[in-house]
Chain A
Amino acid sequence: MSESLRNTIYFAIVALLIIGTGMIQSWNSALFILNMGLVSAIMALGVNLQWGFAGLFNVGIMGFVALGGLATVLTSMPPVGEAWAAGGLRVLFGLALGAATIVAAAFAYKRLDPGRTQTLVMVAILVVGFFVFRYVFDAGVEAVEAVNASTEGYLGGLGLPILMSWPVGGVLAAGAAWIIGKAALGLRSDYLAIATLGIAEIVIAVMKNEDWMARGVKNVIGLPRPVPYEIDLQNDPSFVERATSWGLDPVIASSLYVKFGYAVLFTIVLVILFVMAQAALKSPWGRMMRAIRDNEVAAEAMGKDVTARHLQIFILGSAVCGIAGAMITTLDGQLTPTSYQPLRFTFLIWLMVIVGGSGNNLGAVLGGFVIWFFWVQVEPMGHALLSFLTSGMEDGTPLKNHLLESAAHMRLLTMGVILLCVLRFNPRGLIPEK
């Protein structure tokens, strides 16, 4: 069987699965799976850049995705004028002081000769800077958070169109990746894994606690949308007429229309990123990356700066994850920091890349769709399986109840088993690297 035929069959199966969901369950859930599948494919592309091209192990995908989500609020929500007046500038000034402290400390470290003076000056700068920062910053934060605490209490965003937030999400994620990469790249591969695990937790902690920025756990709801609202469509006579002429209920039709609009936007982004990733893979730069991955020592001997190249691709891959994160939040229409779970936003993406075929962009996209489909469908399947297994037991026994309740945790188990099986029996994935 030729390669292209095999790939076509794989994607046809995915299409059939989604269409089947539409026929059996509902078109709404089919479009939901499609939309999230598209975003998952983008995240998988980003991770594939890091792992497939360069062999970098990033366990903090969740953090970069969350930064993308934060970008939607910072870019697209209207600014809260009152909060800005109350303490917005003070907060920004505080942050600037904090950044200046770190820069000054780094400068002192570089300029002074190593020794006790160097350490003392550095520590002094950091300690004094920290207290000045807290003095300026805390009062500003308090003032901002006091403004309409129940509905606002944050600075708001720039009020730009929400589509602008997608690239901004990429930039934010890239910035975080730069910090991590600078510290952890060039050391053992495990260190990057641990450092990224840490940054992800911290990004989430900051988003949960810094209420002045994006309201923390109080969530920001009602983000602007790039597509029309259902209610407007339902009130639009021409839309209602068209829907009825197709034999659809206007309410369902409007929700399908909106989801379809997202699907078109997401497909455009996916295609652009995919084409770019393919071009990168085929370019001399891509060949160099793979050469570095396969034998770092040899590549270094040929004069390639391994650490710098790693940093480059780590930033690029994280930026792609950031873009996808902004897209997810746009789709949800709200930012809920508590919804970021490592299992869902880090390990699931890993599974997509490994199952799809690490090092192959098409594979990553396929993995994104396949794994997302099963992630959504495993829970009902687990329920069905456990109901079947326990059908012989008497109703109401504690064991049966416990088993039925635990079906929700089947996801973890299934994902782990799939990961281990693929790694062991088919480590190259569904569509292997050429």
Chain B
Amino acid sequence: MDLLNALVALLNFVVVPATAYGAQLALGALGVTLIYGILRFSNFAHGDTMAFGAMVTVLFTWLFQSWGIGFGPLPTALLALPIGILGCIGLLLLTDRMVYRFYRAQKAKPVILVIVSMGVMFIMNGIVRFIIGPGDQRFADGERFIISVRDFREMTGLREGLALKTTQGITVITAVIVVALLFWFLNRTRTGKSMRAYSDNEDLALLSGINPERVVMVTWIIVAALATIAGVLYGLDKTFKPFTYFMLLLPIFASAIVGGLGNPLGAIAGGFVIAFSEVTITYAWKKVLVYLMPEPLEPDGLVQLLSTDYKFAVSFSILLIVLIFKPTGLFRGKSV
């Protein structure tokens, strides 16, 4: 019985939240890694792209809510999501047209593009704060829990409860669908194959008649969709606040690099590695250990390895370790 209780506590406080967070990071890291593979620079504006897509979604969610349109037990935001994606696609294609294309034609060094993306980040951040303000915005509605703690206890008779939030369920399901679609697209369709070819060897791809502008455009469209979905899922799970999306940049980059920049599979693995390490290292293990240890050995303290304020330090340390020992990442990215 104690073992079961420990297991449930572990699931409730570590595995479930980390899986949802990992899925969100993975979606974000996929966007970063795709841009890196095709456009060959680290996009610092990615966090704010997520914020922009999420903002459009939030605005339309409010509109739908005011019209009384709902989505039953699911959050209305899912209905507004396609519109958010469209808005984000529009923004990214516009930025590409107005900003990045010039540097592509010039064949500018990647570091210049990074600085440029920083400028874009400023502007997007400014736009988002200008429109929706810097504060917290709530837009989640519908059923809050798939299983609540009390239901679970009544069902099983255990002392520990397991809560599964609707948003967590949606996050994982959406992430699986999106990733499956993305891999199908990259591996099975003509456009996807041309994207991979372009990413592997630009000159060879150009020689075989692949239109680079088209590849870039498709990349931005996919990135916009991924960023918006990641942003909305994160916002549903926590709350929407423009600054947190800037702060997400570090774990997202860490995920992409840990997995190997430019490698989509690595981005997903990296997202979960980072999420699970962050949660396990900053979780107070007392609750689980109480069930596992004999009475006299029970811990007095919280048995928390690091306070939650240091969760960025965790992603950063993993990043440093990977950079020192295996700079190409776990899945052999393209860069050294």
Contacts and interface: CB of A to CB of B under 8 A. Distances in A.
Contacts of B118: 59, 347, 350, 419
A414 B119 CA distance: 10
B323 interface: yes
Contacts of B327: 187, 191
A285 to B, nearest CB: 22
A190 B123 contact: no
Nearest to A201: B312
Interface string A187-198: 111110111011
Interface residues of B, number: 49
Contacts of A187: 323, 327, 335-336
A184 interface: yes
B116 A423 contact: yes
Interface stretch (A154-162, A251-259, A404-412): A404-412
B313 A202 contact: yes
A203 B92 CA distance: 33
A413 B106 CA distance: 25
A202 B250 CA distance: 11
Pick the most buried of A189, A205, A420: most chain B CB atoms within 10 A of its CB.
A420
A110 interface: no
Interface stretch (B126-134, B138-146, B232-240): B126-134
Contact of B253 (A197, A350, A409, A413): A197
A190 B114 contact: yes
B300 to A, nearest CB: 11
A209 B126 contact: no
A364 interface: no
Pick the most buried of A199, A209, A409: most chain B CB atoms within 10 A of its CB.
A409
A415 interface: yes
Contacts, number: 130
A55 interface: yes
B323 A413 contact: no
A208 B312 CA distance: 13
Given A201-B316, A209-B309, A406-B133, A188 B116 contact: no
B319 interface: yes
Interface string B288-323: 000000000000010001010110110110011001
A334 B259 CA distance: 42
A409 B126 contact: yes
B313 A205 contact: yes
Contact of B335 (A188, A342, A420): A188
Contact of B247 (A55, A183, A201, A343): A201
A380 interface: no
B130 A406 contact: yes
A218 to B, nearest CB: 15
A413 B127 contact: yes
Interface string B236-263: 0000000000110110011001000000
Pick the most buried of A184, A188, A350: most chain B CB atoms within 10 A of its CB.
A188
A189 B112 CA distance: 10
Contacts of A417: 119, 123
A342 B323 CA distance: 23
B120 interface: yes
A416 B310 contact: no
Contacts of A413: 122-123, 126-127, 130
20 contacts: A59-B44, A134-B305, A184-B320, A194-B319, A197-B250, A198-B319, A201-B316, A202-B312, A202-B316, A209-B309, A347-B118, A409-B129, A412-B122, A412-B123, A413-B123, A419-B119, A419-B122, A420-B119, A423-B115, A424-B102
Given A198-B319, A208-B309, 12 more contacts: A183-B320, A193-B44, A198-B315, A201-B247, A201-B316, A202-B312, A350-B115, A409-B126, A409-B130, A412-B126, A413-B130, A423-B112
